[in-house]
């Protein structure tokens, strides 16, 4: 930086048009309108876009383009993340995204021996001939092989000594990952790790700030944190199942956001007076009217936090708004606050509504016993019959009964 650069001798003349000058630097620079002889060279910053808050999927594709220019033959990049509580590794991002056979896929770490070894040792795993490696291995290895990949490089992602996931590089060439290219891969790999961890950190800050707000509510709300964990997992399960059946299209990144935002659905109850929220008996018509304002309050709280933390450009932030504001909408238009009908109810809100009701029915509450799963499913079917719930979301949850039971066992109610 030149002496005096920040000492108030602005404005500086630059070779940019007014529209190209970054918004927060506008007061410092004036564009040069006439051509002048150049003594500096300017080059596009290829990575600039990667620091925008766009979807990670697009940023990965951009990074892959650049890596491929430096190291032709780097044919595929995959990133998988850990689901801490269920000890699974689930697919998260891939480039190229088109024709990716590994979406909506997860595997238990216990069943992935070689990945576990990589995670425990903290070392990079290089396999330069997948043919030697593929015999008897899991589905994911076969899918990568069928895609024509012959070499693989796996970097475990750690954050404060906790395993967070893996970066996978693949090439169609055997013996691709050799000598100098290994150093390049290490650099690329850690670049991607930073990109993903930064994104996750931002997401965690947003969710944590909302959950801290929600914790204040929790002390006066009958719903428990295990309810929130279970309904978030049920929501993820429904979305995964619907995607697997080709009923909706959500990529792994969107499903991850749905999962993280699900526990915030009732954040608006913060604004409901205690005498109504904690009333032991039935609410009268006027009290119900007040109670129903919680979805609009939820949306207002979310909007305020999004603005104050500067999260407005965050991808999929609309999912959070849909969950908080629209989780009481019904397919027949009888729900609130907007009385949306059918497909007007966003998919995130339809899924949340099913998982929230299912968990409320199967949980013990001060005013009722827990229903059996069978009875709760019958009630959901009845609600589908009355055109209140999304039939595809209910059917998806029913098809995954075994996973539902596993989630209930992991996140059981502690009294």
Return d(Cα 47, Cα 45) in angstroms, integer: 6
Q: Which is nearer to Fe ion, 59 or 299 (CB)?
A: 299
Q: Which is nearer to Fe ion, 223 or 256 (CB)?
A: 223
Classify burial at 385, counting beta carbons within 10 Å of its beta carbon; exposed 0-12, middle 13-18, buried 19 or more.
Answer: exposed
Q: Which of residues 337-376 bind Fe ion (CB under 5 A)?
A: 356
**Contact stretch for Fe ion (CB under 5 A) within 144-152, 164-172, 262-270, 280-288:** 262-270
Q: Which is nearer to Fe ion, 253 or 356 (CB)?
A: 356
Q: Which is nearer to Fe ion, 78 or 268 (CB)?
A: 268
For residue 168, what are the β-bridge partners? 78, 154
388 close to 332: Cβ distance less than 8 angstroms: yes
CA–CA distance from 6 to each of 16, 32, 200, 398 (Å)?
Answer: 20, 20, 34, 63
**Contact stretch for Fe ion (CB under 5 A) within 5-13, 139-147, 232-240, 259-267:** 259-267
Q: Which of 290, 240, 238 is nearest to 269 (CA)?
A: 290
Q: Which is nearer to Fe ion, 230 or 257 (CB)?
A: 230
Q: Per-residue x/- mask for Fe ion, residues 302 to 341, rule CB under 5 A?
A: ----------------------------------------
CA–CA distance from 208 to each of 54, 200, 264 (Å)?
Answer: 21, 12, 10
**Interface with Fe ion: number of residues (CB under 5 A):** 2
Q: Which is nearer to Fe ion, 253 or 266 (CB)?
A: 266
265 close to 352: Cβ distance less than 8 angstroms: yes
Q: Which of 76, 23, 83 is nearest to 403 (CA)?
A: 83
- Minimum Å gap between C-beta 174 and Fe ion is 52
- Minimum Å gap between C-beta 218 and Fe ion is 11
Q: Which is nearer to Fe ion, 203 or 232 (CB)?
A: 232
Helix axes 252-261, 179-218, angle to 10 degrees: 30
- Minimum Å gap between C-beta 355 and Fe ion is 9
**Contact stretch for Fe ion (CB under 5 A) within 39-47, 143-151, 263-271, 339-347:** 263-271
- Minimum Å gap between C-beta 324 and Fe ion is 9
- Minimum Å gap between C-beta 335 and Fe ion is 11
Return d(Cα 25, Cα 30) in angstroms, integer: 10
Return d(Cα 240, Cα 289) in angstroms, integer: 35
For residue 171, what are the β-bridge partners? 151
- Minimum Å gap between C-beta 289 and Fe ion is 15
- Minimum Å gap between C-beta 271 and Fe ion is 12
- Minimum Å gap between C-beta 240 and Fe ion is 20
**R_g of the chain, CA atoms, integer Å:** 25
Return d(Cα 222, Cα 219) in angstroms, integer: 8
- Minimum Å gap between C-beta 211 and Fe ion is 14
Exactly one of 241, 256, 266, 390 binds Fe ion (CB under 5 A); that residue is 266
Cα angle vertex 43, ends 47, 6, to 5°?
Answer: 85
242 close to 248: Cβ distance less than 8 angstroms: yes
Return d(Cα 164, Cα 183) in angstroms, integer: 22
Instruction: Classify the C-alpha dihedral 268-406-348-306 as positive or negative.
Output: positive
Residue 30 is given by DSSP the state E
- Minimum Å gap between C-beta 162 and Fe ion is 29
14 close to 28: Cβ distance less than 8 angstroms: no
Q: Which is nearer to Fe ion, 153 or 261 (CB)?
A: 261
Cα angle vertex 243, ends 241, 248, to 5°?
Answer: 125
175 close to 128: Cβ distance less than 8 angstroms: yes
Return d(Cα 362, Cα 342) in angstroms, integer: 26
Q: Which is nearer to Fe ion, 266 or 390 (CB)?
A: 266
Q: Which is nearer to Fe ion, 254 or 356 (CB)?
A: 356
**Contact stretch for Fe ion (CB under 5 A) within 261-269, 283-291, 307-315, 371-379:** 261-269
Q: Which is nearer to Fe ion, 329 or 356 (CB)?
A: 356
- Minimum Å gap between C-beta 386 and Fe ion is 19
Which residues of the shown chain bind Fe ion in the complex (CB under 5 A)?
A: 266, 356
């Amino acid at each position: 930086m030149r002496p005096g650069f920040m000492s108030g001798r602005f404005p500086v003349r630059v070779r940019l048009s007014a529209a190209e000058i970054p918004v927060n630097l506008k007061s410092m620079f004036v564009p040069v309108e006439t051509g002048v002889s150049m003594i500096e060279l300017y080059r596009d910053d290829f990575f600039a876009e990667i620091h925008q808050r766009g979807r990670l999927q697009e940023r990965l594709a951009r990074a892959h383009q650049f890596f491929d220019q430096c190291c032709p033959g780097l044919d595929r990049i995959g990133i998988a993340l850990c689901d801490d509580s269920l000890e699974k590794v689930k697919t998260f991002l891939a480039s190229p995204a088109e024709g990716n056979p590994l979406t909506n896929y997860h595997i238990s770490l216990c069943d992935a021996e070689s990945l576990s070894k990589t995670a425990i040792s903290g070392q990079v795993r290089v396999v330069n001939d997948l043919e030697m490696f593929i015999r008897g291995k899991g589905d994911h290895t076969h899918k990568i092989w069928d895609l024509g990949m012959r070499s693989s490089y796996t970097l475990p992602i750690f954050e404060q000594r906790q395993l967070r996931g893996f970066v996978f590089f693949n090439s169609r060439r055997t013996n691709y990952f050799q000598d100098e290219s290994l150093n390049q891969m290490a650099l690329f790999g850690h670049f991607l790790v930073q990109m993903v961890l930064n994104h996750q950190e931002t997401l965690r800050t947003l969710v944590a700030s909302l959950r801290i707000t929600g914790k204040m509510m929790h002390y006066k709300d009958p719903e428990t944190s295990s309810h929130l964990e279970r309904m978030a997992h049920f929501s993820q399960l429904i979305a995964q199942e619907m995607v697997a059946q080709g009923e909706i299209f959500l990529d792994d990144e969107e499903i991850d956001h749905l999962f993280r935002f699900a526990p915030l659905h009732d954040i608006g109850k913060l604004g409901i007076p205690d005498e109504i929220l904690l009333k032991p008996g039935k609410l009268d018509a006027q009290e119900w009217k007040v109670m129903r304002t919680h979805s609009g309050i939820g949306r207002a709280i979310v909007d305020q936090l999004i603005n104050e933390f500067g999260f407005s450009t965050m991808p999929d932030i609309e999912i959070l708004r849909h969950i908080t504001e629209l989780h009481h909408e019904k397919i027949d238009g009888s729900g609130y606050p907007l009385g949306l009908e059918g497909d007007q109810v966003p998919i995130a809100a339809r899924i949340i509504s099913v998982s929230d009701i299912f968990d409320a029915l199967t949980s013990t509450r001060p005013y009722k016993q827990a229903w059996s799963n069978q009875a709760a499913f019958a009630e959901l079917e009845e609600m589908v019959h009355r055109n209140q719930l999304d039939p595809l979301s209910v059917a998806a949850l029913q098809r995954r009964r075994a996973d539902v039971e596993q989630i209930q066992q992991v996140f059981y109610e502690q009294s």
